[in-house]
Structure 1
Amino acid sequence: MHDEHDHDNPWRQRWREGRIGFHQDAAHPALVRYWPTLGVAPRAKVLVPLCGKSLDMRWLARAGHPVLGVELAPEAVEQFTAQSQEGVSRYRLPGFEVTRQGTIELWCGDFFHLHIHQAFELGAFFDRAALIALPPATRQRYAFHLAQLVPPGVEGLLIGVTHENDGEGPPYSVRGKEIEALFERNFAVTCLEETGPDARGVAEQVWRLTRRGPK
């Protein structure tokens, strides 16, 4: 069984060395464009797996959502909270060091150790950089674990990336057919948008995922 810690060292090394070219200095345009089209309740809690220091979490908080971000690298958590003057509180839960700032909770630890009884009351999710951060052997486990955490009817957005060198990453290139194969057992999967390759040969896809109910 693969674990998120299989790639702990190189990922942590990227944060320590500041090699985080995957980080963006604004909320993702697809989040701003498509989030209002989902059927997410106004104050629903949003899960953001492998969240890094993404400003998407601040956008979601300003939109009225409590946020539960899960991140392996403590450097990312510290850099995120340093972006704001708002006060910070810290506490410990089994398997996680939790940092709270406003309505955003950052759980520092292994996403695969997050249990459903800890992630209660989740009403939506946003995956901007989780699936594409994982090597192929771990993606099936991720898709299954996400399905275990969110109740039927819960919706979310997932950002996929494809690039010319499929084997390189993170972020890894994950083709649309793989995304459908990974999630369609437990989610209704719809591609909302696909952008053409940019100057680096990188294309993005925006996916809407809706958790299916019991069959």
Structure 2
Amino acid sequence: MASDWLERWRDGRIGFHRDRPHPALVQHWPDLKVPAGTKVLVPLCGKSLDMRWLAHHGHPVLGIELAAQAIEEFVAEGAEGVARYRQDGFDICRQGSVELWCGDFFHFHIEQAAEIGAFYDRAALIALPEATRQRYAFHLAQLTPPGAQGLLVSLTRDPGGPPFSVSADEVRQLFEPNFRVTHLGDGEPEPSGFRESVWALQRRGPLTSS
């Protein structure tokens, strides 16, 4: 899985990358009412412009990405200076209020996530095969405190991948043990056969349980 992902970046097979912020983020993030200044975790972030959108709207961003090439392309496309350092086995680039950790998301642990208060997933869950998605959902829950808000964009498609098809039932099965899950809507079917779904997630815990 990791080698395939790195190969995609080397070969430029990154059709999943968008040249503007995702419409679902622009439409639905304000409704979550995440306070400005809340640090947002973006797993498997690639070089997504969604991170710049979040930063522009007052959020420090922590993106985690396996492909160093994606990180280098992201910072090269920015106008601000870059600080580089290494921490806990990750090579880190900071540009403005976006910090990018190069390494395996599953090696990022709660001690490193102390300031995380929200999360955004447009391309992480759907990049993972079925056998890994349960591990991903559990690990995300470990990294987010009770009450943390998040936005998830999943998709359904014909067999194949990545990106992989993740049904509404699977989204609920994966996340409802640890999150309140709210379906916000579905996009129109695309000619490629993709259809995106948007979800609001809130980490369960003492602050939110009934």
**TM-score, normalised via structure 2 length:** 0.97
Aligned residues: 207
Q: Which residue of 1 aligns with 2:170?
A: 178
Match of 1:88 in 2: 82
Structure 2 spans left out of the alignment, 5+ residues: none
Deviation per CA, 1:36-90, whole angstroms, max 9, x where unpaired?
A: 0003111100000000000000000000100000000000000000111210010
Whether 1:210 aligns to 2:202 is yes
Alignment check: 8 A CA contact 1:41 1:123 kept: no
Secondary structure class of the residue paired with 2:172: helix
* Equivalent in 100, 110, 115 of residue 104 of structure 2: 110
* Cα distance in 1 for residues equivalent to 2:115 and 2:58: 15
Matched, 1:54 2:48: yes
- Given that residues 42 and 64 in structure 1 are in contact (C-alpha distance below 8 angstroms), is that contact kept between their aligned partners in structure 2? yes
Deviation at 1:170, TM superposition (A): 1.0
Question: Secondary structure of the equivalent of 1:117?
Answer: helix
- For 1:157, the equivalent position in structure 2 comes to 151
What is the CA deviation profile of residues 95-120 of structure 1, one whole-angstrom value per residue up to 9, with x for unaligned ones? 21000000000000000011111011
Q: Give the distance between the partners of 1:154 and 1:110, measured in 2 at CA.
A: 22
Q: Identity percentage over the alignment? A: 63
Kindly report structure 1 stretches of 4+ aligned residues shifted beyond 2 Å. none
Question: Deviations 1:155-181 (Å, cap 9, x if unpaired)?
Answer: 00000011122xx11111111100100
**Amino acid aligned to 2:22:** H
Counterpart residue number, 1:201 = 193
* 1:68-147 correspondence runs (5 A): 68-147=62-141
How far did 1:183 drift? 0.3
The one-letter code sitting in structure 1 at the alignment partner of 2:142 is Q
Q: For residue 181 of structure 2, what is the aligned residue in structure 1? A: 189
- Give the Cα separation in 2 of the matches to 1:104 and 1:42: 14
Deviation at residue 123 of structure 1 after TM alignment? 1.3
Which of 23, 27, 31 aligns to 1:29? It is: 23
8 Å contact kept, 1:46–1:67:
yes
| Residue ranges of structure 1 left out of the alignment (5+ in a row) | 1-6
CA separation in 2, counterparts of 1:71 and 1:95?
Answer: 13
**Aligned partners of 2:126 and 2:185: how far apart in 1?**
17
